[in-house]
Structure 1
Amino acid sequence: MAVLLAVLGAAVLHAAWNAMAHGVPDRLGGFALLALSSGAVAFVTIAITGLPPAKAWPYIVASLLLHVVYYAGLVVSYNLGQFSQAYPLARGTSPWVVAVVAIVFLHQHLVPLELAGVLLISAGLIALVFIGGRPTRSQSPALLAAFGTGLLIAAYTVVDGIAVRKVPLASYMGWTFALQNVILILFVLWRRGLSFLRVEKRYLYAGLGGGLVSLAAYGLVLWAQTRGALAAIAALRETSIIFGALIGAVFFGERFGPKRAIAAAVVVTGITLIALG
């Protein structure tokens, strides 16, 4: 139960920091602010923990590269199509792919209820793709890019899940976050200089606060991966999309609608099955 609550808490936090980033008009600058605050905490962490063991570096480098390519995949997906279709497909693809990898290659056991829960959560999230209507052929490139992004999410999820069972959690998380954020901040400095810091205070606080929330969400998921089944945790984490839609409806006046309600009900059923499994 502790693992279930930790991952659902991480999903709520993930939705919250995305909502905070959503409030910053300059998206690229907002991500730089996120990286600034979470990176600062990460550098404090590695100052305390020191260098990780040598066996941790292949996982850190693999996770770093996969995350960088993942961010690029998100940008391509969003440039080719609508966020409302690309993001649910990317996040909904990941859980069932992780389940296949965990069962076939990592020999992790899932009871039937857990497996059914994972598949229901994936189905509920992917169903969100069709809220705006059936995708047309012209949208195929965007959907293919989103599917590829989902495979990247599955890949770094598996890498992280293996790593935290073999290397110290704090050290792994600290170095992974520190290196990722250095790359992101350097990229923004190259594109924008220091202009991302010249924003209204409310946006500055939202961006910096979002970074701390994102760090907490990531830490909860990594902790859960040391104790629970990788596929179930991956599926539960992606419920952040539903929490994000609820936050949008409550705080931003966005329409939730009956179709989202049905998809949310499917996801909640999946969560229930995982809890009972």
Structure 2
Amino acid sequence: MTLSVFLAVLGAAAMHAVWNALIKIRLDRFLSISLMTIGMGVAATPAMLVVDFPQREVWTWIVLSTAIHTLYRLFLIRAYETGDLAQAYPLARGAAPLLTTIGGILLIKEFPPQVAIAGIVLLSAGTLLMSLRGGRKVGVFDRRSVGFALITSVCVAGYTLTDGSGARLASTASSYAVWLFVTDALWTLALCLYLRGSRVLAAMLPEWKTGIVTGLLGAASYWIAMWAMTRAPIASVAALRETSILFAMMISVFALRETATLWRAAAAMFIVAGVVALRLG
């Protein structure tokens, strides 16, 4: 992985943690995360004029990704409703790099370098340790939150492999990203109207500024990740993106006033070691 790709993914990780924190503090997380998704589509719409229209085979990946992203958001919301950010977020993300690595090896025959695999394991261990010792009560889980978070991690691995493959197949990563964001936004709006009725528009309107901010952050973050996946192993990019856990920890402590512990510091050391290994790999 080149230095430019490495630094870009780190920046994407920071943006990812910020929008997740913004979703956490909203009263209605379903509307908040839906508004963010619609905001991503709005942010991407002008770019439709300058990117290629996807080929027929690329649309298969876009539709599949839209379906997986929908499941991801629904289970992420439930994880946040039943657990705090410092626990639910790391657990939701922590198992995903390992699942992505296994999926990449089995499904697309992509084998990361041995040093990178070591980094993926270290980073995953750090995120899972932060989950085990990072919640409201040390070492205690809310079973529902754990279940929702683990299902979320499966969805993360699923859409990561899907979008990495789709971005590589498309003419450019930008083309794939733009049309994915617009398609996902239109589907999300339709789903909101179906589940909540027309009143959902009146509920979202006062929060349009938050939707724009989270949409821009989400779109920029994931576009960078998809671009990186065309230039480095998907599993390595997915793992490095999970450094967002470090940023989420800082947000949880300094912004959300959640408790800082030595366990979180130890977990952070594992994550940093994993980052170093990924860079070397």
What range is the shorter-chain TM-score in? 0.7 to 0.9
Q: Which moved more, 1:180-189 or 1:221-230?
A: 180-189
Which residue of structure 2 lines up, in the alignment, with residue 177 of structure 1? 181
Identity %: 33
TM-score (norm 2): 0.87
1:101-127 residue CA offsets vs partner (Å, 9 max, x unmatched): 223332323222211110011111111
Whole-Å separation in 2 of the counterparts to 1:104 and 1:238: 22
Which residue of structure 2 lines up, in the alignment, with residue 68 of structure 1? 70
1:146 aligns with 2:142: no
1:142-188 residue CA offsets vs partner (Å, 9 max, x unmatched): 42332222111101101111111111322211121112112222333
Matched residue pairs, number?
A: 272
How much has 1:83 moved relative to structure 2? 5.1
Whole-Å separation in 1 of the counterparts to 2:236 and 2:58: 24
Whole-Å separation in 2 of the counterparts to 1:217 and 1:259: 28
Whole-Å separation in 2 of the counterparts to 1:197 and 1:79: 19
Which residue of structure 1 lines up, in the alignment, with residue 166 of structure 2? 163
How much has 1:34 moved relative to structure 2? 1.8
Q: Cα distance 1:50–1:224, how it changes in 2: closer, same or farther (>3 A)?
A: closer
Which residue of structure 2 lines up, in the alignment, with residue 6 of structure 1? 8
Which residue of structure 1 lines up, in the alignment, with residue 112 of structure 2? 110
Which residue of structure 2 lines up, in the alignment, with residue 134 of structure 1? 139
Whole-Å separation in 2 of the counterparts to 1:20 and 1:36: 15
Please provide the CA RMSD for this pair.
2.3
The code of the aligned residue for 2:259 comes to R
Alignment of 1:173-212 (within 5 A): 173-190=177-194, 191=196, 192-199=199-206, 204-212=208-216
Whole-Å separation in 2 of the counterparts to 1:102 and 1:215: 24
Q: Cα distance 1:179–1:151, how it changes in 2: closer, same or farther (>3 A)?
A: same
TM-score (norm 1): 0.88
Asked if the contact 2:38–2:188 (Cα under 8 Å) also holds between the matched residues in 1, the reply is no
Which residue of structure 2 lines up, in the alignment, with residue 238 of structure 1? 242
How much has 1:141 moved relative to structure 2? 4.8
Whole-Å separation in 2 of the counterparts to 1:21 and 1:93: 21
Whole-Å separation in 2 of the counterparts to 1:143 and 1:35: 24
Q: Cα distance 1:142–1:18, how it changes in 2: closer, same or farther (>3 A)?
A: closer
Asked if the contact 2:54–2:175 (Cα under 8 Å) also holds between the matched residues in 1, the reply is yes
Unmatched runs of 5 consecutive residues or more in structure 1: none
Which residue of structure 1 lines up, in the alignment, with residue 61 of structure 2? 59
Unmatched runs of 5 consecutive residues or more in structure 2: none
SS in 2 for 1:49: coil
The code of the aligned residue for 1:165 comes to R
How much has 1:129 moved relative to structure 2? 1.9
Whole-Å separation in 2 of the counterparts to 1:16 and 1:77: 17
Whole-Å separation in 1 of the counterparts to 2:131 and 2:263: 11
Which residue of structure 2 lines up, in the alignment, with residue 263 of structure 1? 267
SS in 2 for 1:165: helix
Asked if the contact 1:86–1:143 (Cα under 8 Å) also holds between the matched residues in 2, the reply is yes
Which residue of structure 1 lines up, in the alignment, with residue 95 of structure 2? 93
